[in-house]
């Protein structure tokens, strides 16, 4: 007997009944998602005003424009670094949280950034990485740690008026000194207000027998003469002075409150007087996090802060779905915990890790707000990414909707593999 | 002695549980302690930035420019609500705060209604092309919104919707639908077929089945979707940046102008950012279970 | 009056699998008909086609003599009890039962009255405020049945309603359901794979296999005169022993059936001998239930097969003894258990045979069944209408 399969297997359930259910959603999707996709594709072949067909020129321009190329480069950095980092951190933390009782609370804390806007997260990290150490906490911590190991100098930025050559080690005298010499060392480039309170008026010491004596003072040109010790000028206390012979430090001393110093028993021969650079080192101000060179890592770190909770929660759900039997069987078979993790947990978890990774890649490709908010206007071109560039080209300063459409299409093409991945996963789950 | 030995023997389970020496047990305890410490540190790392923002929002302008928020531990008297009072008194900012509601609430309601209707048809009414349609929706999940910005801006311009709250809402609805349909369809399709057929046998029409069987059964999924969508729209910046004008701008866009002088505007920005965070944080803390489920279910947006 | 009739109904799934193959069946008003068969035999598909949840690929379903093809499920006046009960988890028992009345927009007081009435009949009157999750399996079962009959359906369909319950509850509910159905005068089409349910509850049994209706009739008829080898094997516990026999006709005297190395004679006057004789020189299948077998007294004459005890099964009230008589077993396809053609004897528990013991088995010729090996059909006059 020949029978044809039923297509309409359920009587009374005609397509007509589906229409009222589907219509509202389909109209909106067609008008505001599908139609725009087609429109953007077409629009990308026209010029800025949309009047003239220019073929692929927008695409050619896009790939030759240095700003867009920077955006491309940054997107590549993002895709290579960020999703892998978050997946890895998420995996480690998810595994660790399995062993603690307050896992739920922990995951809640790490998930919290997902709830707040990228705009607010951006502000939060702008504040975290703010450059001045009295505003940005990261630099404050860095300065604190730095000063703990190398205390800041007393006379930042000061330098000898003349006759000294700046070197790595410090300012070294051009003219040699020998026993019995008296050295006057006027310093400039320092504000009199910042001179320590205990400083006494400076005076040139008398020459001593077999000794090298000298004075270091702040030489002000207003109300005094340059290079001469004037009555109003004060000695600079606490400055390290070294005597150097053949590149070796033979003596070291420190100036007193009146700025005087003495090398007592220098053997005969010439020495060079040197003021070590530690006297004048500028205070450590931390790193320029929001400057051109660090801006992308900084934004990535804030994205990691936002997305890690998602990865942990997703991976933890995957971990709890692993059948206990499999793990216990492995333990009974004599595997160590590491082997169980490496040989059983990870393989069973790999589909979950893949989904997390792909999700994060999609998210990264569309990154916009974080860069927009965290990167200060002056370095935005350094931190640029495609999504931001698309907005700037078409709505910001550019106003070129042809080029903007081309960028939108490129963005779409970059996301397309993830789209196919999702569809395949969906199909597989159904069958 | 004998007694002690006896006791020890009783403690050891007969079934050959792992015999661990005292040393390894101490090591395990220590290892666990180290893990706890590490995780506690991580949690602190996650909380400090938010805490910093909160404190900064509670200090006045001069305090924020002069010293970091962490000095509050030595000078707690500096804290003040003045920034908030000022911000709320600022007509433009307060309006933008309200706008955020006017955008997020309808955009959420519309998405939930449209998506649950469509999901019902996609899971329980058979019609030609159902598979294809479902796959298209799954494909749209990851569609970057940049693709639609220019064309929709033109479209809205033609219909007088550009720069209106309605326009912003419509755009959010459109781009919220694929995820919403995906989430609800998955849940609806998981409802036992018997339940739907029982209702059909009991004389219910499709509409009645949808309203009286599917919707009540799917409450958890709908709650997840509602919360997820609400927060998504509330937190948006890009869509509003393009489609809203000054009068319809939500808080993220309204505060954006202050970004130029970040260092001197910390008080204002921190306060504004925290104001914009209060609603999501409250929603998150109250409904975190549903929100987390929503995010996990989506895992693609 | 015919409540339900299927005429030449077939169902082919989109993949090309034939779920139901040309089945005709009718259920009279007030009749309790059981569709019996192994899983995947198409019995649930038949139920769903009667319900209107599935449209036949060909053929027609009639309700009260009227073609029902274009009548949607909700308008058929047919209700159904599902295997896992399908109670609405968000509604109380009362609201579950009242649901069909709600969607039919019946008045409130009638609704309350009907709910109370039906709940009383099923003994769940005190559970009306509970949710399904708070009910035991048996209570869910009753609530589901109450919901199914509250509207006064013309046909009640039941899809393996007892398979999710434990054994004790099942046997209790068997009698209860059948009793209620009869007292309420319900027309029931009941699907099960459990032959005991079929035997105990049904007015009429329809046995399905691979989408084909193999046999149909009163439970005792089907049991005693199964139309095919498969039906024979499916009904009855322990299963009917089936083994090969070589047919040799001794003209005008008898038909010899060679079983293993032994033979039994089917005397010519036996009505079936003539039919079996058509298979002269060929193999047929012989079936024997335990009722047809008894231990042969030593030295007794008549149809006896000698063999060795292979296996013992003590049931307390009786002992089942498997005896290997050297026969080749026959395996009706689709039922795959025993491979050797052992005979199963039922003996009193105080009779204690030993493994390997040599015994004789006496066969009651009248109670043997003969089947065509090629098509599985019964050989000989059926002794009843078809």
Of C228, C262, C294, the domain-final residue: C228
B221 CA to chain C: closest CA distance, Å?
14
Residue A162: burial class (beta carbons within 10 Å; 0-12, 13-18, 19+) = exposed
Of C179, C207, C228, the domain-final residue: C228
Residues B133 and B63 in one domain: no
pLDDT at position A223: 66
- C343, containing H or E segment: strand C340-347
Residues B123 and B183 in one domain: yes
CATH assignment of the domain containing B262:
1.10.3720.10
Extended beta strands in A189-334, E state: 212-218, 240-245, 248-254, 260-263, 272-276
pLDDT at position B25: 64
Establish how many alpha carbons lie within 13 A of residue A258's alpha carbon, considering only the half-sphere containing its beta carbon: 13
pLDDT at position A370: 92
Question: What percentage of chain B has pLDDT greater than the value 90?
Answer: 53
Q: How many domains does chain C have?
A: 2
- Is C186 inside any structural domain? yes
Residues C140 and C19 in one domain: yes
User: Following DSSP, what letter does each residue of C31-71 receive, concatenated?
Assistant: -EEEEE-STTSSHHHHHHHHHTSS--SEEEEEETTEE-TTS
Question: What percentage of chain A has pLDDT greater than the value 90?
Answer: 31
- Is B245 inside any structural domain? yes
Residues C153 and C285 in one domain: no
- Tell which residue, B251, B248, B242, has the closest CA to residue B273: B251
pLDDT at position B51: 92
pLDDT tens-digit series, residues B171-189? 999 999 999 999 999 899 9
Chain pair A-B, CB pairs under 8 angstroms:
281
- Is B8 inside any structural domain? no
Which residues are CB-neighbours of B256 under 8 A, at least 6 positions away? A119, A373, B237, B241
Residues C116 and C67 in one domain: yes
C24 CA to chain B: closest CA distance, Å?
23
Of C228, C256, C281, the domain-final residue: C228
Residues B67 and B186 in one domain: no
Residues B229 and B275 in one domain: yes
Residue A113 contacts residue A363 (beta carbons within 8 Å) = no
CATH assignment of the domain containing C348:
2.40.50.140
CA quadruple A365, A370, A373, A377: dihedral sign: negative
- Is C215 inside any structural domain? yes
Residues B224 and B268 in one domain: yes
pLDDT tens-digit series, residues A11-66? 445 678 899 999 999 999 999 999 999 999 999 999 888 888 998 999 998 899 99
- Is B260 inside any structural domain? yes
C18 and A CB contact within 8 Å: yes
User: Following DSSP, what letter does each residue of C64-86 receive, concatenated?
Assistant: TTEE-TTS-GGGS-EEEE-TT--
- Residue A394 and residue A400: Cα distance in Å, rounded? 5
Extended beta strands in C181-303, E state: 188-192, 204-209, 212-217, 241-250, 254-259, 262-267, 283-288, 293-295
The rounded Cα A205 to chain-centroid distance in angstroms is 53
List, as own/partner pairs, every contact residues A207-210 make where C-beta atoms lie below 8 angstroms and the sequence separation is at least 24, other chains included.
A207/A180, A207/A181, A207/A182, A208/A180, A208/A262, A209/A179, A209/A180, A210/A179, A210/A180, A210/A264, A210/A265, A210/A266
CA quadruple B152, B155, B161, B162: dihedral sign: positive
Residues B139 and B256 in one domain: yes
Of the partner residues C78, C82, C91, the one whose CB lies closest to the CB of residue B194 = C82
pLDDT greater than 70 at residue B67:
yes
Residues C195 and C323 in one domain: no
Of the partner residues B68, B69, B238, the one whose CB lies closest to the CB of residue A369 = B238
Question: Each residue's pLDDT tens digit in chain C (386 positions)?
Answer: 678 999 999 999 888 889 999 999 999 999 999 999 988 888 999 999 999 988 899 999 999 999 998 888 888 889 999 988 899 999 999 999 999 999 988 899 999 999 999 999 888 999 999 999 999 988 999 999 999 999 889 899 999 999 888 888 888 889 889 998 898 899 999 999 999 999 999 999 999 998 999 999 999 999 999 999 889 988 988 888 888 899 999 887 888 999 888 888 888 887 888 888 889 999 899 999 999 998 888 777 788 898 899 888 888 888 999 998 888 888 776 444 445 678 888 888 888 888 888 989 999 988 899 998 888 889 876 544 43
- Is B1 inside any structural domain? no
User: Following DSSP, what letter does each residue of A310-363 receive, concatenated?
Assistant: HHHHHHHHHHHHS-HHHHHHHHHTT--HHHHIIIIIHHHHHHHHHHHHHHHHHH
- Tell which residue, C174, C156, C157, has the closest CA to residue C165: C174
pLDDT greater than 60 at residue B299:
no
Residues C136 and C8 in one domain: yes
Q: Look at residue A177 and give its three-state secondary structure.
A: strand
Residues C103 and C187 in one domain: yes
Which residues are CB-neighbours of C97 under 8 A, at least 6 positions away? C115, C118, C119, C128, C143, C146, C147, C150
Q: How many domains does chain B have?
A: 2
CATH number for A159-279: choose from 1.20.1300, 3.30.160, 2.60.40, 3.30.70. 2.60.40
C69 and A CB contact within 8 Å: yes
CATH assignment of the domain containing C153:
3.40.50.300
- Residue C380 and residue C272: Cα distance in Å, rounded? 5
- Is C86 inside any structural domain? yes
Instruction: Provide the token pair at C140.
Output: 């869910």
Cβ neighbours of A97 in B, within 8 Å: 39
Of B29, B64, B82, the domain-final residue: B82
A12 and C CB contact within 8 Å: yes
For A19, other C-beta atoms within 10 Å of its C-beta total 13
Residues B60 and B195 in one domain: no
B:165-194 residues touching chain C, CB 8 A cutoff: 192, 194
Residues C135 and C45 in one domain: yes
- Is C236 inside any structural domain? no
pLDDT tens-digit series, residues B196-226? 999 999 989 999 999 999 999 999 899 989 9
Strands C319-328 and C78-81: unpaired
Residues C188 and C314 in one domain: no
Domain region containing C223: 2-228
In this structure, chain B runs to a length of 301
- Residue C360 and residue A221: Cα distance in Å, rounded? 137
Domain ranges of chain A: 37-138+289-430, 159-279
- C27, containing H or E segment: strand C18-28
Task: Could you please state the CATH topology (level 3) that the domain comprising A37-138+289-430 is classified under.
Answer: MetI-like fold (1.10.3720)
C275 and B CB contact within 8 Å: no
Cβ neighbours of C151 in B, within 8 Å: 202-203
pLDDT tens-digit series, residues A251-294? 888 888 888 888 877 766 788 888 888 777 777 777 888 888 89
CA quadruple A173, A179, A181, A185: dihedral sign: positive
- Tell which residue, A346, A348, A359, A364, has the closest CA to residue A314: A359
pLDDT at position A184: 83
Domain region containing B181: 90-298
State the chains in contact with A (3 or more Cβ–Cβ pairs under 8 Å): B, C
Residue B126 contacts residue B138 (beta carbons within 8 Å) = no
- Is C384 inside any structural domain? no
- Residue B72 and residue A143: Cα distance in Å, rounded? 18
Residues C169 and C265 in one domain: no
Cβ neighbours of C74 in A, within 8 Å: 12
Instruction: Provide the token pair at B140.
Output: 């749209």
Which residues are CB-neighbours of C170 under 8 A, at least 6 positions away? C162, C197
pLDDT at position B11: 35
In this predicted complex, what is the ipTM? 0.84
């Amino acid at each position: 007997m020949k029978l044809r399969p039923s297509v309409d297997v359920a009587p009374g359930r005609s397509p007509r009944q589906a229409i009222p259910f589907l219509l509202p959603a389909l109209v909106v999707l067609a008008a505001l998602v599908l139609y725009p996709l087609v429109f953007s594709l077409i629009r990308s072949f026209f010029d800025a005003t949309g009047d003239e067909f220019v073929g692929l020129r927008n695409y050619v321009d896009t790939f030759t424009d240095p700003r867009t190329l920077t955006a491309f480069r940054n997107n590549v950095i993002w895709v290579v670094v960020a999703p892998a980092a978050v997946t890895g951190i998420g995996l480690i933390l998810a595994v660790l949280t399995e062993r603690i009782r307050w896992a739920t609370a922990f995951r809640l804390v790490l998930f919290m950034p997902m709830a707040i806007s990228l705009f607010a997260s951006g502000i939060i990290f702008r504040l975290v990485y703010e450059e001045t150490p009295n505003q940005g906490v990261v630099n404050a911590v860095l300065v604190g740690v730095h000063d703990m190991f190398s205390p800041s100098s007393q006379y930042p930025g000061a330098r000898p008026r003349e006759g000294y050559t700046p070197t790595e080690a410090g300012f070294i005298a051009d003219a040699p000194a020998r026993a019995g010499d008296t050295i006057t060392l006027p310093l400039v480039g320092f504000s009199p207000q910042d001179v320590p309170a205990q400083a006494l008026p400076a005076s040139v010491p008398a020459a001593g027998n077999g000794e090298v004596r000298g004075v270091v003072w702040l030489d002000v040109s207003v109300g005094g003469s340059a290079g001469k010790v004037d009555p109003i000028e004060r000695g600079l206390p606490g400055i390290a002075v070294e005597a150097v012979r053949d590149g070796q430090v033979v003596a070291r001393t420190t100036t007193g409150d009146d700025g005087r110093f003495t090398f007592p028993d220098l053997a005969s021969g010439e020495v060079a007087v040197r003021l070590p650079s530690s006297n004048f080192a500028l205070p450590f101000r931390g790193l320029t996090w929001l400057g051109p060179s660090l801006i992308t890592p900084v934004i990535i770190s804030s994205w990691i802060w936002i997305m890690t909770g998602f990865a942990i929660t997703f991976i933890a759900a995957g971990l709890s779905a692993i059948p206990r039997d499999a793990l216990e069987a492995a333990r009974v078979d004599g595997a160590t915990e590491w082997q169980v993790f490496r040989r059983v947990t990870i393989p069973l978890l790999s589909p979950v890790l893949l989904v997390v990774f792909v999700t994060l890649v999609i998210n990264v490709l569309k990154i916009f707000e974080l860069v927009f908010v965290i990167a200060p206007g002056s370095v935005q071109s350094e931190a640029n990414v495609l999504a931001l560039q698309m907005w700037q080209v078409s709505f910001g300063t550019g106003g070129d909707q042809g080029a903007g459409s081309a960028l939108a299409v490129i963005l779409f093409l970059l996301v397309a593999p993830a789209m196919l991945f999702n569809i395949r996963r969906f199909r597989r789950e159904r069958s | 002695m004998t007694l002690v030995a006896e006791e020890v023997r009783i403690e050891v389970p007969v079934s050959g549980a792992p015999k661990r020496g005292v040393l390894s047990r101490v090591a395990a305890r220590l290892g666990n302690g180290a893990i706890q410490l590490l995780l506690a540190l991580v949690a602190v790392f996650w909380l400090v930035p938010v805490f910093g923002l909160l404190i900064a929002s509670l200090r006045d302008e001069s305090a924020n420019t002069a010293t970091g928020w962490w000095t509050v531990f030595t000078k707690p008297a500096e804290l003040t609500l003045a920034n908030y009072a000022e911000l709320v008194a600022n007509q433009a900012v307060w309006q933008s705060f309200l706008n955020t509601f006017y955008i997020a609430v309808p955009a959420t309601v519309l998405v939930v209604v449209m998506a649950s209707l469509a999901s019902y048809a996609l899971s329980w009414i058979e019609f030609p092309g159902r598979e294809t349609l479902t796959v298209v929706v799954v494909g749209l999940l990851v569609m970057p919104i940049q693709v639609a910005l220019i064309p929709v801006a033109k479209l809205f311009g033609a219909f007088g919707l550009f720069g209106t709250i309605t326009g912003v809402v419509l755009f959010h609805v459109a781009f919220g639908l694929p995820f919403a349909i995906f989430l609800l369809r998955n849940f609806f399709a998981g409802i036992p077929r018997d339940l739907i057929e029982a209702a059909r046998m009991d004389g219910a029409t499709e509409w009645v089945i949808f309203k009286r069987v599917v919707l009540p059964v799917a409450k958890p999924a709908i709650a997840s979707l509602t919360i997820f969508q609400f927060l998504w729209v509330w937190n948006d910046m890009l869509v509003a940046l393009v489609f809203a004008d000054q009068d319809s701008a939500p808080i993220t866009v309204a505060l954006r102008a202050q970004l130029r002088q970040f260092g001197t505007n910390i008080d204002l920005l921190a306060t504004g950012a925290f104001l914009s965070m209060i609603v999501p944080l409250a929603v998150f803390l109250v409904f975190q279970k549903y929100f987390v489920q929503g995010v996990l279910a989506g895992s693609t947006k | 009056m015919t409540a339900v009739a299927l005429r030449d109904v077939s169902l082919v799934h989109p993949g090309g699998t034939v779920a139901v193959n040309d089945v005709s069946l009718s259920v009279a008003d007030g009749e309790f008909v059981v569709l019996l068969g192994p899983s995947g035999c198409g019995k649930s598909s038949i139920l769903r086609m009667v319900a209107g949840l599935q449209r036949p690929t060909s053929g027609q379903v009639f309700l009260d003599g009227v073609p029902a093809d274009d009548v949607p499920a909700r308008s058929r006046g047919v209700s159904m009890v599902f295997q896992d009960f399908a109670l609405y988890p968000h509604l109380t028992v009362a609201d579950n039962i009242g649901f069909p009345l709600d969607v039919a927009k019946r008045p409130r007081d009638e609704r309350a009255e009907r709910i109370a009435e039906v709940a009383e009949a099923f003994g769940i009157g005190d559970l009306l405020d509970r949710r399904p999750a708070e009910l035991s399996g048996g209570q869910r079962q009753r609530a589901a049945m109450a919901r199914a009959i509250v509207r006064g359906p013309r046909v009640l369909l039941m899809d393996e309603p007892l398979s999710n319950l434990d054994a004790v509850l099942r046997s209790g509910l068997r009698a209860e359901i059948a009793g209620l159905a009869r007292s309420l005068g319900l027309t029931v089409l009941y699907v099960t794979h459990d032959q005991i349910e079929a035997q105990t509850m049904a007015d009429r049994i329809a046995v399905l296999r691979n989408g084909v209706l193999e046999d149909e009739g009163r439970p005792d008829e089907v049991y005693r005169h199964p139309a095919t080898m498969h039906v024979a094997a499916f009904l009855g516990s322990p299963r009917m022993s089936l083994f090969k026999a070589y047919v040799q006709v001794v003209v005008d005297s008898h038909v010899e059936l060679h079983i293993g190395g032994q033979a039994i004679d089917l005397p010519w006057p036996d009505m079936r001998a003539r039919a079996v004789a058509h298979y002269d020189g060929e193999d047929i299948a012989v079936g024997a239930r335990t009722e047809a077998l008894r231990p042969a007294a030593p030295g007794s004459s008549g149809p006896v097969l000698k063999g060795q005890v292979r296996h013992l099964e003590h049931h307390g009230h009786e002992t089942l003894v498997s005896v290997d008589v050297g026969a080749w077993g026959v395996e009706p396809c689709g039922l795959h258990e025993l491979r050797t053609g052992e005979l199963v004897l039922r003996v009193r528990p105080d009779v204690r045979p030993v493994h390997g013991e040599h015994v004789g088995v006496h066969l009651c010729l009248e109670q043997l069944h003969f089947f065509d090996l090629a098509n599985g059909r019964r050989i000989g006059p059926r002794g009843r209408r078809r």
